[in-house]
Amino acid sequence: MPPMSIAHGIRSLGVLGAGQMGMGIAMVAAVRAKVPVLIHDRSADQVKKGFSLMEKLLEKDVAKGRLTTEQSKEARDRVSIVSTDVGIKGLRDVDMVVEAVSENLALKQSIFSSFAAELRPDAILATNTSSISITKIAASAIPVNTSAASEEGKNSAGRVVGMYSEPDHL
């Protein structure tokens, strides 16, 4: 069976937010899709907590026979931290980025504006929101002084997708 990344075309994933949801998404991508994952959070403490959670979940999967020790190590090695001093710019070359931060429209709009400015123009920008309008979030990816009706406006907003995920460990 070919690697899953061939089937879906995503060769690298970025995750913004190292809480339970963000780390769960990173872990699923590393274990199931077998793609390199870059994770960023503005809090170094949260990154530490998130990696501790992932480590416990991987150990649990090994204990239950879902993963071998080698598969667990390989998955762990696929997840890397983007430091706080590098920030979102460290996600610049990913094929897809998933935002997994608190449900705050202004925060998400700021993040997606930064994603649109900093990431590759063909990168997929995904939000993990469960309650906020994807349209409102997508509008923030449109460059300032650009009409939403223009080709550039449509292309910018069209990069944004909703991708709600609830990893099975939650």
What amino acid is encoded at 19 in this protein? Answer: G
DSSP code string of the chain: ---HHHHH----EEEE--SHHHHHHHHHIIIII---EEEE-S-HHHHHHHHHHHHHHHHHHHHTTSS-HHHHHHHHHHEEEEPTTTGGGGGTT-SEEEE---S-HHHHHHHHHHHHHHS-TT-EEEE--SSS-HHHHHHTTSPTT--TTSHHHHHHHHTEEE-----TT-
Dihedral class, residue 9 (left if φ above 0, else alpha if ψ from -120 to 50, else beta): left
pLDDT at res. 167: 59
- pLDDT of 97 reads 98
Q: What is the CATH number of domain 4-162?
A: 3.40.50.720
Query: How many residues would you count in the chain?
Result: 170
Strand pairing partners for 161?
126
pLDDT profile of the chain (170 residues), mean per 10: 60 96 95 96 96 96 97 98 95 97 96 95 94 93 85 83 71
160: its two tokens: 């944004």
- What does the pLDDT read at residue 94? 98
In the prediction, which pLDDT does 147 show?
85
Every domain of the chain and the residues it spans? 4-162
HSE of 129 in the Cβ direction (CA atoms, 13 Å)?
Answer: 23
pLDDT at 7: 60
Predicted model pTM: 0.89
